[in-house]
Chain A
Amino acid sequence: MSAKSLSKGKGRVKKKLSGSKSYLLNWSKTFRGRLTIICLIGLCLIPLLTQNRYYLGIFITAMIFSIFAASWDFLAGFTGQVSFGQAIFFGISGYITSYFIRYLYLPWWASLLIGSLVGVAFGLLIGIPALRLKGPYLGLATMVLGLIMFYTFLNVKFEPWLGGSEGISKIPQISRNAVETYYIHLIFMITSFLILIWIGKSKMGTVFKSIRDDDIGAEASGINLTKYKLIAFMISAFFAGIAGGLFAMHNRGVNPGVFQPLYSFYAIVMASLGGIATISGSALGSYFFWFAAELFSEWPDVSVFIFAIILILVIRFAEHGILKPVLERLKDIWDLVLGK
């Protein structure tokens, strides 16, 4: 019996693998798939064009924020839990990662892992009030919690422990070699995206989406709301934590500023720019945002202004993201060129 069921199990695994294989094959034929592949190849080739630390740094920042925005998109887009306090996980992991590197001399990857896991613990903590709050109330509550973190870390009284306004500085970078650093971040981004997309397509992802669509209905179908909401918060916090730790290392330090609501809004704007509940849209939004910021870096006031306008546009018009309609135009042109 066991042998039989074993072979049956194997058959199922095989079927599943070949299923995902043909899925990938089909996906690579679609416009979306091709565009993704082209972008990925482009990203892999960038260091051949420039090894300049500053230019690569822009790309690295964009990759870090892609992960951060995707973590928000996962929570809001898939599970319907709109958090305005995503910076909490980002910031706490930044601090913990920095602390372990700077004072306990742990390797960067171990520190990053610990930082992200502490982020997960905070995800659990923040997730608990989320069980009772919905919609705007959840948004407000998470924003207030973020502000509490900000002022706690800024507070002079706690300076001996938390570092005050200076935070933690003089953290070594991941690697002295800018190109190597670039590729490490690229791997982090791709892996994070693959995991998040895979969870979204898994059975658990369907459960998350059902909670988003109708939480009472989900509960009545036998889904344990408490459990899955908390899991969603923890997964989201983990990836926000990865982003926060990478960001701290990239900036060679961390200060209370990372807890500002501004960072939570960054995540929201980038994810919304690219289209909510898509995960990959977050990368699009992040690159768009950082390139625009770079263009206007001479005039910081202008960039704040543009940021505000984007925020308003996103809130007003972009249920499906602003960049997506642009992409669809692009697709028409693409089809035209190929003569379809």
Chain B
Amino acid sequence: MLEIKKVYHYYGKAKSLEEVNLSVEEEALDVVIGPNGAGKSTLLRVISGLEEPDRGKIIFKGVRIDEEKPHIIARMGIAHCPERRRLFYDMTVLENLELGAYSLKDKNFKELLEFVFEIFPRLKERRKQRAGTLSGGEQQMLAIARSLMSNPKLLLMDEPSLGLAPKIKTSIFEAIGKIKKEGTTALLVEQDAVLAMQVGEIIHVLEEGKIEMRGTKEQLEKEPRIKKVYLGI
């Protein structure tokens, strides 16, 4: 579904991605892990068009998208749920969701809204509340819900559980499981390696802009370096 081929990216002169190859299969749930500053967020931003790669190709469903504008990529069915839950803070929950559905062509807005409220019942109760006044966990739910409202084929999520209590973390990941069951493909960035290995089918390890390793949970658990650096065993 998504193919990233030899992608390089620089911020000015500083290299942030180096020869990244990565592909995500249809209906998969892949996770990217890596230390701070490894380029994980940059990778997602490059896919969704918020940054342009300096070299390499990105192909989504057979179409090259690496030179397209973000709004075009969004309309093709890639939703990006960015880091630090960026929301439209001065607008209500419902308005945020409406904007998420902006690029929706067919009019199943109501169905999607119901689906999203089913996953996050808390948002239904608070649909008239201003997004800026939601709690941290609720804001994260809204951020995910908003990206779901475009009925994406590929969902990119940047650290959905950052800064949340373990209980809410679990409920967020339960939600992600449900989304996957509905047939959405997802590529997820996660700091928490243990959690990442639980949910991810394929785990990609990004370090200093390079994919250093990848594999299933079982494969990676055998690697001594992964054990030491990420799992702390």
Per DSSP, chain A at the interface is: helix
CB neighbours of B48 from chain A (8 A): 220
Contact string, A195-224, partner B, CB cutoff 8 A, digits 1/0? 000000000001101101110111111111
Asked if B98 is at the interface of the complex by the 8 Å CB criterion, the answer is yes
Contacting pair B91 A220 (CB below 8 A)? no
Q: A220-B70, A220-B74, A225-B71 are in contact. Are A213 and B102 (CB under 8 A)?
A: no
Chain B 192-207 interface mask (CB, 8 Å, partner A; 1/0): 0000000000000000
**CB atoms of A213 and B82 under 8 A apart:** no
Would you call A223 and B82 a contact (CB within 8 A)?
Answer: no
Closest approach, in angstroms, between the C-beta of A237 and any C-beta of chain B? 24
* Complex alpha-carbon distance, A219 and B82, angstroms: 12
Distance in angstroms between the alpha carbons of A207 and B74 in the assembled complex: 15
Question: Closest CB of chain B to A320's CB: distance in Å?
Answer: 12
Query: Closest chain B residue to A213 by CB distance?
Result: B88
Is B209 close to A, CB under 8 A? no
Q: Are A221's CB and B82's CB within 8 A?
A: no
Q: Are B102 and A223 in contact (CB under 8 A)?
A: yes
CB within 8 A of B88: which of A214, A219, A222, A224? Answer: A214
Interface residues of A in 220-258 (CB under 8 A from B): 220-225
- Asked whether, in the complex, the Cβ of A213 is within 8 Å of the Cβ of B74, the reply is no
Chain B residues, CB < 8 A from A207: 99, 102
The reply to whether B90 and A209 form a contact with Cβ atoms under 8 Å apart is yes
> Which B residues touch A223, using CB under 8 A?
71, 99, 102
> A217 — nearest CB in chain B belongs to which residue?
B86
User: Would you call B15 an interface residue if the criterion is a C-beta within 8 Å of the partner chain's C-beta atoms?
Assistant: no
B74 touches A222 (CB 8 A): yes
A207 to B101, CA, bound (A): 11
B208 close to A (CB within 8 Å): no
Are B90 and A213 neighbours in the complex by a CB distance under 8 Å? yes
- Shortest C-beta distance, A80 to chain B (Å), equals 10
Q: Which residues of A contact B70 (CB under 8 A)?
A: 216, 219-220
Contact of A221 with B74 at beta-carbon distance under 8 Å, contacts A209-B88, A209-B91, A216-B82 already known: yes
CA–CA, A130 to B102, complex, Å?
23
Which one of A209, A212, A214, A221 contacts B102 once the chains associate, using CB atoms below 8 Å?
A: A221
A132 CB to nearest B CB, Å: 14
Measuring CB to CB, which residues of chain A are less than 8 angstroms from any residue of chain B? 206-207, 209-210, 212-214, 216-225
